[in-house]
Amino acid sequence: METFKHIIDTIQATQNITYEQLDYVLTHIDEEKAEYLYQKARQVSEPIFHKAVYLRGLIEFTNICKNDCYYCGIRCSNSNAERYRLTKEQILSCCEIGAKLGFKTFVLQGGEDPYYTDDKICDIVRSIKNAYPDCAVTLSIGEKSYESYKKFYDAGADRYLLRHETANEEHYAQLHPANLSGAHRKQCLRDLKAIGFQIGCGIMVGTPGQTIRHIYEDFAFMKELQPHMIGIGPFIPHKDTPFRNEPMGSVPLTIHLLALLRLVFPKALLPATTALGTADPLGREKGILAGANVMMPNLSPVNVREKYMLYDGKICTGDEAAECHRCMELRVQKIGYHVEDSRGDHPDFVL
Ligand code: 5AD
Ligand code: FES
């Protein structure tokens, strides 16, 4: 226990983690040690975030995707997926519902759908910013050129989420077809940051072939990138993908990593993800108690929810936005935290 505590304290003090430290922590952790780690993570986040959990309204506006990622339920070759696109009017009406509930961030997430040209995206972003000038707009629509990202930014988009999925290029190639590369994905993140977006990267935990070494490389990549947000959740198999028979990622491992991320990136926005809530009914609560500070309730129209199935069993597909919002509020309160309706920018970000 003393060695473990010493390592955790060192990670906290240096805001960095070596391969040896990560390996020791992950291979020696038990319930008692985990409690020490989580307590440290809370100690780090409390003076910065004061037990606030920021909410982001998630609008899944298209499940059409030109990519064929091996893990993802909306991959282009899944012919069982019933495809949909939301119109600009539908997206705006999601925002209207969200604004009434108090959301100050709208996340537009979708597959890489060529129908939404840069002009269409910019038009949607402008319309939202026009109608809700005090709200942040986050885009999560995949890999684009520097020029496209710049157009989105100039149209008023504030943030961009693009998980790097894994920093190790060989591992990246195990999860994606050959036309996609880890190097390009990382370049996209660097471009987004250079343009001025608040950026979010992240990984799935427990994807096929993932090792502690890979996770260490993720930490090293993120130390260099300095993202504003880091989204992690367990890998969950989807029945219509090549990974249908692969085991689900570990919930405890995900929570341990959230806590370690909090120690290494004290000011980062760390969502307690839907995948975490899917893998374990109390997963998001456990995540918050280990340092997570963001939740993303679903604002998509209920009739499309079932269709945005990235993995099997996804939660919240039957709940109206208001129910989802209320449910999250209660869950957060139950563990002694509160949801906050501010934009929830990164502490170092100035408007
Ligand atoms: N299990 C868990 N997370 C997944 N994602 C995609 N497919 C899965 C899955 N099967 C995550 C990816 C992607 C994000 C939008 O959802 O990390 O970047
Ligand atoms: Fe959506 Fe509970 S968070 S229903």
Each residue's pLDDT tens digit, 30-65: 999 999 999 999 999 999 999 999 999 999 999 999
CA atoms of 293 and 270, how far apart (whole Å): 5
Per-residue confidence at 272, pLDDT binned at 50, 70, 90?
very high
Three-state SS string over 233-258 comes to EECCCCCCCCCCCCCCCCHHHHHHHH
Which ligand ends up closest to the CA of 315? Answer: 2
- Is any ligand 2 atom within 6 A of the Cβ of residue 55? no
Please name the residue that has the structure tokens 């939660």: 315
The model's pLDDT over 165-174, given as tens digits with 9 standing for 90+, comes to: 999 999 999 9
CA atoms of 114 and 10, how far apart (whole Å): 47
- Calculate what percentage of the chain has a pLDDT beyond 70: 100
Predicted pLDDT at 112: 98
CA atoms of 7 and 13, how far apart (whole Å): 10
Instruction: For residue 11, give both structure tokens.
Output: 């990670």
Of ligand 1's listed atoms, the one at least distance from the Cα of 310 is 7
Instruction: For residue 222, give both structure tokens.
Output: 């993120």
Instruction: For residue 88, give both structure tokens.
Output: 């600009």
CA atoms of 102 and 2, how far apart (whole Å): 46
Distance 91 CA to ligand 2 centre (A): 20
Would you say residue 350 has pLDDT above 90?
A: no
Which ligand ends up closest to the CA of 67? Answer: 1
CA atoms of 110 and 94, how far apart (whole Å): 15
Would you say residue 351 has pLDDT above 90?
A: no
Ligand 1 pocket: which of 56, 72, 175 to mutate (most atoms <8 Å of CB)?
A: 72
Would you say residue 341 has pLDDT above 90?
A: no
The model's pLDDT over 189-215, given as tens digits with 9 standing for 90+, comes to: 999 999 999 999 999 999 999 999 999
